[in-house]
Structure formats: C-alpha cells, structure tokens
Amino acid sequence: MSAEANLTTALSEIDRARDIVEFSTVVVARDKQLRKADQLVFLQKAAVEFQSRFLPSFEDGIRAERSWGYATTCNAVSRKAGGQPGRDACEKIASRVSQIDHALMAKIGIRALSIFAASFGRHSRSSECHYGAIRIARLCREESRSLQELNNLSLAALINGFSKWPEEADFRQAAVAIAGEVIRRANRHHQLSDFTQQGLVSLVNGFSKWPEEVTSRQAAAALALEIVRRPGRLRAFAQQGLAILVNGFSKWPDERPYGQVTVAIAGEVLGRAARFREFSEQDLANLVNGFSKWPDDAVSRQATVAIASELLRRATQLPHYTQQGLANLVNGFCKWPEDAVCRKATVAIAGEVLRRAAQLRDLTQQGLANLVNGFSKWPEELAVRRAAVALAREVLRRATQLDDFSQQGLANLVNGFSNWPEELPCAQVTVMLAGEVLRRTERGTGLSDFSAQDLRGIVIGFNRWPRESAARQATIAVINEVLGRGIRLFDFTKPDSENLLDGFSKWPQDAARHEAIAEIIRQLKLTQTGAAQLRTEEK
C-alpha cells in the first residue's frame, strides 16, 4: 500500500471510530506507522476530531472507565507533530482535569493521570496545562500509596511532566513522593532490576530538577547504583540516554555513586568514539558539561578531549547548536584550560558566538555567565577576546536585569571580564557590576548568600580595576564580608596574594588607607610569610 493510501486509510479509520477506546487505538497505532509528513496531517486531524466528538463527554467517559483512551489520545496529539490543534486539545482536557472533583479524579486512575501529566508538561507555558498538572501533583502528594500501582515508565512520565515547573511547591512535593516510591522499591529483594533503560534515564532526568531535595538525591543514588551493578550496564543505552544520565548526575558532583557512574559513562563514550557522528549536538554539549563536574578524573578528561576533537571535525555545524549548547560546551572545555584541543574547540565556539552577536539576547543569564567564565581561561586568544567584548555589550544591554543573575553568575562575570581590562565595554560592565554588588550589600542579608569561592572571585576581579572608584567601593564591601567570615576560609593562593597586593598598591593613597583594605593586606602578607616559613621548614 502506498504512503498516500496509508494516510487515507488512517483518516477513514478515525472517522469510523464509534467510541474513545476505538478512536485512541487507531490514533496510537497509526501514529507509529505513518511517515513523518503524513503523521502531521493525521495527528492534527485526529486532534480536531478528538475535541469535537469526544471531549464534550469527558466526564461521562471517565465514569464509564474509558479514561485510558482519553489519556493515550492526549499523549499522541499533544506532541510537536500535533501542532496547534493538538495543543488546543491538550489545553482543553487539562482544563477539565483541573476542575473535576476528588471522586472523579480517583476514577481516572493513576496510570492514566501519569500520561496526562506528561502531556501537560509539553505545554508548560499554558495556564490550563499548568493547573491540570497541579491537580495531578496534589493527588500524588496526598495519596502517595497509589504510586505503588505504577511501573517505572509511568513514574518517569509523572516526574518529567512535573519537572517543567520545578520552582513550585506542589510539583516539588509530588516529586518527593515519587522519589520515596523509588527508594521503597530499591529496598526490595530484586531492587530496581525491573526498571528499563528508558525508565532509569527519565527518572534521573526528572529528579535532577530538584537537586536540593534529600529524597530526590537518594532516589537518584539508588538509580545510579542500579546502573553500575548491571552487567554490560551501559552498552544497551542509546547515545541520548547516556547524555541525559551524565547531565542529571552532574547536579550532585560531590556524591560518590554519581561519580562512579559518570566515570563509567565516560569510558563508554570513549569506546564509541568511532560512532560520534551518531551523537546529536545537544548530546555532546550535555556530556561535556556533565564530565566537567569531575575535572580531576582522567577518563572524564579523555572523553571530553575526544568530544572536542569531534566538535572541530564538525566545525561547519556550529550554527546548528543552541545558545545554551554552546555555553555548556565552553563551560565544560574550560575545566581543562591546558589542553590544546579544548582550547581550539573553544576558539571555534568563540567565533560562532561573535557571529551571533545580534542574537545574544536569547542567552539565559546562566548561559551568559558561563560563556564569560569559560572564555576567560584563554584571554589571549583574539577570537575569544572579541566574543567577550560582544558578551560585555549584551550584559550592558541587560543593565536593568542584573538582579536576575545568581551570586555565582555575578562572580563569574566580574572575574571573567577582568581578564580584558583594556577593552572599554569590559570596563563599563565592571562599573555596572560593582553597582549591583553594592546594591546587594544593602539588603537585609547583605552578601551572606555568596559562597566563599564567589566572594574570592569578586575580590580578585574588581581588584584588577584599581582606578575605578565603583570597583574599589565594591571591593571594600566584599572584603568586609571576607574578614567577617575569616580570611582562612578563602585559601588565597600565592599568585592570588601577589596579584591582590599588586592591585592594592595601585589604589589612590586615600582609598588604600581604608581599614578593611589595610587589614586584608596585613592578612595576605601574613599568609605569604607563613607559606614561606613552611617551605623553609620543609627544606
């Protein structure tokens, strides 16, 4: 049968379907069989039919125990191929779900609700899908025992649907309930041996959206141990699955199980070097970004260098990378600044960033900060310098949005741009960032939410601009915080101390007499003296 005849037959089948069960059976089956172009036509026609013929009787269908047909149809048409008709259908059914009573929600069943959650998550900007997902999340939280009915793929559908709104309490609490169910199963005799590769990958991806939750971390650790203990554990995973695992586990770089499985994945990636063409651009970016969380591991380094070589071979494809993908690559490569291949790959990316100078407004705040921080590891490269200047102009354009940068992001910008003191846009950005630091000192918490590492980077960065009054004022504010915590927390290296002392020597005389500056100079000299004495004693 020709492709055209297949489409005609499929369309006639949905026209003849007498109820939602028969309709959904045809939609699911034909969705898998039709070629891509015909699939678009079929799913969009199915979405229109679904809305007009079956959605009006949604509640009656639930009472008749036909919720599975509604869920599977919604799942099919809500995908990208369903287009606007599919989105409309998904929003309308989400609106109905958000309004039905508790008894009817229970009648839908947790399996069908997991499919609805995954569907609604595809349209996270829709208020209808948002409220429909909240209704499901609350049920999961309040009746967590119902989660025991789900297999690993259904649990994964729930967590990935909810993960589209990670900042909201309802979804976070539902994620904790799902994590608790995974932990419960990990304690069984056969542990998580019945979890599929797809289930493991999707669950790790979901839990990684709440890395600060203890239960999420524990559930992810159980999943990591399951992957490590399986014989031939990684050969069966697809390339995208490996990239998602690395990206997920990288949210907990200090935990042993995640390091073990990431190193194992790095070894598997190295083994597939001859098949790198099968990895998508997003997969390569996620792998590099993830491996960079373990920079001291030799296998992670080797895998990253191999990916850098692949990127250079694909240099003509750099325009196909997303802005975030480019930022992830640079953020990863910069962890090995001494490697020539990582440097060459970063220079190539810098050229692409410069080419996109007019589109840099699409970068997230974190992506922007990561690019600046990464490029700063190779400040002498001309392409990198030019890209950094373009990024500085973009930060200047966002002058009213500086409060949106995280503490780490702000520190990365300050420290990064300080590597090009002769570039005017970098100097202008530094003055603006100094003003933001001073504004943050006026909050009730002051600078207490900055980590020691971030404060250290800000002090070093601003001190490279000794003639800028705003930079000096911000440096004094940061040093007051540093001294309040204790200088030993900051572990300034000998080169750091020398650079800081050199910078302070260039301050105007009246500013250099400030008591905070005088005190930190004294502390830095004591640190240097102590280090010199220790070296003498060792000899």
What is the per-residue pLDDT across 89-142, written as a single tens digit (0 to 9) for each?
Answer: 999 999 999 999 989 999 999 999 999 999 999 999 999 999 999 999 999 999
Sign of the CA dihedral with 257 first, then 258, 259, and 264 last:
positive
Which of residues 254 and 26 earns the better pLDDT score? Answer: 26
User: pLDDT value at position 480?
Assistant: 87
73 CB neighbour count, 10 Å cutoff: 32
Identify the DSSP state of 34: S
- Average pLDDT of the chain to the nearest whole number: 91
441 CB neighbour count, 10 Å cutoff: 16
Mean pLDDT of 480-490: 76
Identify the DSSP state of 50: I
Tokens of 93: 């059914």
Residues 6+ apart with CB under 8 A from 364: 323, 324, 327
What is the per-residue pLDDT across 407-455, written as a single tens digit (0 to 9) for each?
Answer: 999 999 999 999 999 999 999 999 999 999 999 998 878 888 998 889 8
Least confident span in 89-98, 227-236, 513-522, 529-538 = 529-538
Tokens of 180: 């608790």
State how far the Cα of 104 lies from the Cα of 55, in Å rounded to an integer: 16
User: pLDDT value at position 385?
Assistant: 97
Within a 13 Å sphere around the CA of 258, how many CA atoms are in the beta-carbon half? 24
Residues 6+ apart with CB under 8 A from 309: 341, 345
**538 falls in which pLDDT band (50, 70, 90)?**
very low
User: pLDDT value at position 426?
Assistant: 95
What is the per-residue pLDDT across 365-413, written as a single tens digit (0 to 9) for each?
Answer: 999 999 999 999 999 999 999 999 999 999 999 999 999 999 999 999 9
State how far the Cα of 162 lies from the Cα of 96, in Å rounded to an integer: 18
Residues 6+ apart with CB under 8 A from 360: 323, 353, 368, 390, 391, 394
Does residue 177 contact residue 219 with C-beta atoms inside 8 Å? no
Phi, psi of 26 (to 5 degrees): -65, -45
The H or E element that residue 474 is part of is helix 469-485
| Three-state SS sequence of 212-256 | CCHHHHHHHHHHHHHHHHCCCCCCCCCHHHHHHHHHHHCCCCCCH
User: pLDDT value at position 218?
Assistant: 96
State how far the Cα of 48 lies from the Cα of 346, in Å rounded to an integer: 48
Least confident span in 248-252, 343-347, 502-506 = 502-506
User: pLDDT value at position 534?
Assistant: 40
What is the per-residue pLDDT across 253-267, written as a single tens digit (0 to 9) for each?
Answer: 988 889 999 999 999
What is the per-residue pLDDT across 173-231, written as a single tens digit (0 to 9) for each?
Answer: 999 999 999 999 999 999 999 999 999 999 999 999 999 999 999 999 999 999 988 87
Three-class DSSP category at 342: helix
Which stretches of 376-423 are DSSP H helices?
A: 382-397, 407-417
Mean pLDDT of 14-27: 95
Which of residues 243 and 452 earns the better pLDDT score? Answer: 243
**2 falls in which pLDDT band (50, 70, 90)?**
low
Instruction: State pTM to two decimals.
Output: 0.87
Q: Which residues of 365-374 are buried (b: 16+ CB within 10 A; e: fewer)?
A: bbbbbbbbbb
State how far the Cα of 343 lies from the Cα of 355, in Å rounded to an integer: 19
User: pLDDT value at position 134?
Assistant: 97
Does residue 67 contact residue 61 with C-beta atoms inside 8 Å? yes
Mean pLDDT of 59-64: 95
**489 falls in which pLDDT band (50, 70, 90)?**
low
Q: What percent of the chain has pLDDT over 70?
A: 96
Residues 6+ apart with CB under 8 A from 520: 479, 482, 483, 487, 500
pLDDT score of 536 more than 70? no
pLDDT score of 482 more than 80? yes
pLDDT score of 67 more than 80? yes
Does residue 21 contact residue 69 with C-beta atoms inside 8 Å? yes
Residues 6+ apart with CB under 8 A from 95: 128, 131, 132
Q: Which of 160, 112, 169, 92 is nearest to 138 (CA)?
A: 169
- Write the single-letter amino acid at 347: V
Least confident span in 188-192, 326-330, 480-484 = 480-484
pLDDT score of 530 more than 90? no
User: pLDDT value at position 158?
Assistant: 97
Q: How many residues does the chain have?
A: 539
State how far the Cα of 332 lies from the Cα of 77, in Å rounded to an integer: 37
Q: Which of 88, 105, 106 is nearest to 97 (CA)?
A: 105
What is the per-residue pLDDT across 132-173, written as a single tens digit (0 to 9) for each?
Answer: 999 999 999 999 999 999 999 999 999 999 999 999 999 999
Mean pLDDT of 320-334: 94
User: pLDDT value at position 487?
Assistant: 66
